Every structure is written in C-alpha cells, then in structure tokens.
Amino acid sequence: MTRIDDLPVRDELRGKSPYGAPQLDVPVRLNTNENPYPLPEPLVERIAERVREAARNLNRYPDRDAVELRTELARYLTRTAKYPVAVENVWAANGSNEVIQQLLQTFGGPGRTAIGFEPSYSMHGLIARGTGTGWISGPRSADFTIDTETAAKAIAENQPDVVFITSPNNPTGTAVPTETVIALYDAAQAAKPSMVVLDEAYIEFSHGDSLLSLLEGRPHLVVSRTMSKAFGAAGLRLGYLAADPAVVDAVQLVRLPYHLSAVTQATALAALEHTDTLLGYVAQLKHERDRVVRELWEMGYEVTASDANFVQFGRFEGEGAAHAMWQRILDRGVLVRDNGVPGWLRVTAGTPEENDAFLAAVRELKKEQE
C-alpha cells in the first residue's frame, strides 16, 4: 500500500496530519463551534429562490469580483461594527480559511514567516505550512491571555511577515483587549513592517465590540470574519475580510479566477437578507454560553472567560487526563473537543437541550470523581 510519505510530497508536509476534528454520528455534537440552529424556513425558501435564479445562468462564470455580495457584507459590517466600510474594503472567499490562505499566499510564502500566540486556531499554522510560510509559535500566558510586552518582544525578535491575533480566541474563548491589538500592530510595524490579521470569526458572540474601527489609519491591518458561526451557515463556506482597498487588490493576485461560485454568492446574499433573525439566535446562544460557564463553575470545574460560542473547561490533571475525560463524555453521547491543550477541553454552546445533556454528563462524571 502506498502511503503519503512514499509520495514525493514537499518536505514540510512529511509526517504531518490533516485538520481532523472527528465527525462522529452521536446524539449531541458540540465539538466544532457550529451554530446549532438550522436556518429558519423563510430563509431556506429565499435561498431556494435566489439559487434558482443563479441556476439559470450557470452556463456563465460567476461575478469574479462578487461585487453585490461584497457590497452587502460591507453594509452588514458598517451597521453592526459601527465603522463605515465600503465594497472596496471587503473581500470574500470560501470560508475564512480561504481568506487566511489567500492572505498567506500574498504576504507569506517561502522565505517568510507568520506568528500566532498559542494555543490558538490551529489552522493558522497549518495554512502557513501549506503556503510554504514558516510558522512561529508565539507566547500566551498561563491564564490564556496575551501578555502585551512578551508578545511584542516575540514580534521584535522574530520579525514575522504576518501576525495573527484571534479575538475571541479559539479554543480558549478569550477576547483580546484593544490596547493589546494596537500595541502588537505597532510592534509589527516597527519590526518590518508586517501584516496583522485580526481573526474575528466569533466576534458576534463577544461581550465587547468588533475592533473594525482600528482599520482607520492602519493599512497593514486585516480583520477576518465568517458566516460559519453567527450566521449559522458553516455549510455555506463564506468568509470575508475588511481592510485597506490595497489589501483587497493584493489578494486578487493569488485568488483563483471565479473562486466564489454563483451558488455560494446567491446563498450568502439570501442569508444577509435575514441578518436580524440570525442575530436573534446569536443572542440566545450568548445567553446559553453564559449559563454553561456558570453551571460548570458551580460544579467545581475551572472555566476560561468566554466571548465566543464555546467554553474551555478543565482542569484535568495528569498525562492524558483531558482525553480520558473527552472519551467519558463521548460515552454519554456528547461529543466535545480535545484541542490538545493539556488539562482542558472545549464545548460549543448548543441548544438548551444539548447543553442540558452536556451539563448532565459532566455533573455525573464530577460526582464519580468525588
């Protein structure tokens, strides 16, 4: 049998594993930070209508620049983040993973490096590797916050070409204070200057606001967003960024022609028409997230403060203890996530019923341990 390493794959891919959150068929799936609510029926109807229209033109390539969609995304950002952006500030791709890939293809690549403050979203490092960009694992404090001085020092020492800041951070849930983002941007400019990517995939769930307004006067800042979480449309694959128009022009040097299908553009436009309903689910999820935090805390678990639609909880002391706990929770029909952060697991906020099932499982396990 031929294995990957028998093929002449690039050296940096040898012995590596692909992204692989388990997709298991269990009653309660709270492991990939999806929105648990299916799209409302009127929106499903609207998608069908828009896609039917798009289907009539599928003999033609889609709008290569996705102008209508980017205009609507700009309108959404302007309204919710209270900072005016226009179509020329916004770029869209197939999930924010593709946005990140395009950014690394443009600003990273062979001979260049990117830094992220770990534990954080593992795909930043994996996409870096896939684009031939060197990866630097930057420091994070024991309480999972970013210590501004230590992080700025890491930027000064390593002189990376791209700096990732994830706020709220995945898997810890913590939001990054404005002053830290500004300080790290300044450190990155002093070093090279380099691009700073603020990954706001979960920002709609935050207690605080988007830092979109930091784009003012910061041409090397990129804010990346997604419709996978707050819009409940992980299956759609639609991510986007807001930045200086020059950044939008630059990523077009690497994007594949017609990368965003007409069906994707039509579906995303339909979803954006229903923004208010979808943000109503976000409010419900925030409430449930806070309940999960509170109840875990009351049971005696340690919980990291969360501004996202998931909660990091622990602590499970000892080698392999977190994974053993993950398995015990799974044995009770609830799939959570072991991100490999020693001592901690992550659970996505689901429907009240799903959260009840999760909380019942961990309550039982806590009692068994006592």
Binding site for ligand PMP (CB under 6 A): 33, 95-97, 121, 166, 170, 199, 201, 226, 228, 234, 239
Q: For the CB of residue 1, give the shortest distance to ligand PMP in the complex, in Å.
A: 32
Q: Which is nearer to ligand PMP, 69 or 361 (CB)?
A: 69
Q: For the CB of residue 21, give the shortest distance to ligand PMP in the complex, in Å.
A: 8
Q: Which is nearer to ligand PMP, 72 or 199 (CB)?
A: 199
Indicate if the alpha-carbon torsion angle 94, 95, 99, 104 is positive or negative.
Answer: negative
Q: For the CB of residue 40, give the shortest distance to ligand PMP in the complex, in Å.
A: 20
If you search the block for the tokens 């930043």, which residue do you land on?
124
Q: Which is nearer to ligand PMP, 119 or 314 (CB)?
A: 119
Query: How far is Cα of residue 287 from the mean position of the Cα atoms in its chain?
Result: 20
User: Of 87, 80, 68, nearest to 248 (Cα)?
Assistant: 87
Point out the residue whose Cβ comes nearest to ligand PMP. 95
Q: Dump strand ranges (E) for the chain.
A: 28-29, 90-93, 113-117, 134-138, 162-166, 195-199, 221-226, 239-243, 302-303, 310-314, 334-335, 345-348
**Rounded-to-integer distance, Cα 201 and Cα 166, Å:** 8
| Peptide bond connecting 139 to the previous residue in cis, omega within 30 degrees of 0 | no
Q: For the CB of residue 339, give the shortest distance to ligand PMP in the complex, in Å.
A: 10
Q: For the CB of residue 127, give the shortest distance to ligand PMP in the complex, in Å.
A: 10
Q: Which is nearer to ligand PMP, 29 or 361 (CB)?
A: 29
193 Cβ contact list (under 8 Å, min separation 6) = 220
Q: For the CB of residue 170, give the shortest distance to ligand PMP in the complex, in Å.
A: 4
What are the b/e assignments for 309-348, b being 16+ CB within 10 Å?
Answer: bbbbbbebeeeeebeebbebbbebebbbbbbebeebbbbb
Q: For the CB of residue 20, give the shortest distance to ligand PMP in the complex, in Å.
A: 13
330 Cβ contact list (under 8 Å, min separation 6) = 24, 26, 336
Q: Which is nearer to ligand PMP, 174 or 355 (CB)?
A: 174
DSSP 40: P
Q: Which is nearer to ligand PMP, 97 or 355 (CB)?
A: 97
110 touches 6 (CB < 8 A): no
Phi, psi for residue 307 in degrees, rounded to 5: -110, 15
Q: For the CB of residue 331, give the shortest distance to ligand PMP in the complex, in Å.
A: 25
Q: Which is nearer to ligand PMP, 84 or 130 (CB)?
A: 130
Other residues' Cβ atoms within 10 Å of the Cβ of residue 18: 7
Q: Which is nearer to ligand PMP, 168 or 314 (CB)?
A: 168
Count of all residues that appear for the chain in the document: 370
